[in-house]
Amino acid sequence: MFKQYVQGNHTTLSHPNYADRVNLQWFDAQYWQQQNKIIGAKKGRATAWFFNQGELNAVLRHYWRGGLIGKLLTDQYLYLGLESTRVYKEFNLMHQLIKLGLNVPLPIAAKVTKNGLIYRGDIITQAIPEAKSVLDILIERALTEAEIERIAHTIAQFHSNGVFHADLNINNILFNGDGEVYIIDFDRGEIRKQNKKWQQNNMARLARSFIKEQGRNHHFHWQKDHWQQLVNYYDQRLVSL
């Protein structure tokens, strides 16, 4: 299980393999910039910072609110106890998914900073080697049938283990350098009882992300029959598991 430390108003959670190395500076992107350790960044609603520390390539992500409330409260959340924080829930869930043998990044460390009834949070995960998202690939070329099958089988494996992903989209599905499929970003995710309704809602969300990105990108190599292929492989795998 992961280690937990309290330093003033900060609570840090650390994977046992990194507990003796992680300190509060690890959660500060400026610190890594000053050390010339930043090796990349991915911009979205918030920036994810990729940094290198010895043999470890990792990703630092701050928790930001979305939607209309995000414009008001930005990164502030109501504190109702450590285990109720989105930070703790995601970090704990990722440890459970690793134990289940699912392809997710190794959770390295997380931090909850409490000020009165408000908290802010950060999480560090291991970077997937030579990662390319499904979006990155589709901007360059079409997916092969084998790649579509691997995506479908991976999602089915997660769903058959009751894993609900709150934002399943083509930015959060990655191929590593060996062609294995990983799923990332489990904020607000959870393990649920298997149920066709939430599983299909997950798939519908994924379908909308293909359509959305097709409208946003001039070069996007995706066709309707590719989606049907993906669904067919998903259904076959879900039944057989």
State pLDDT tens for residues 169-204: 999 999 999 999 999 999 999 999 999 999 999 999
State pLDDT tens for residues 18-54: 999 999 999 999 999 999 999 999 877 678 999 999 9
Please report the domains of the chain, with CATH numbers, ordered by start residue. 3-126 (3.30.200), 132-240 (1.10.510.10)
Clarify whether 235 is annotated catalytic.
no
- Categorize the per-residue pLDDT at 70 as very low, low, confident or very high, splitting at 50, 70 and 90: very low
Buried b (16+ CB within 10 A) or exposed e, 38-50: beeeeeeebebbb
What's the mean pLDDT in 108-135? 97
20, 136, 167, 235: the catalytic one is: 167
**Which pTM does this prediction carry?**
0.94
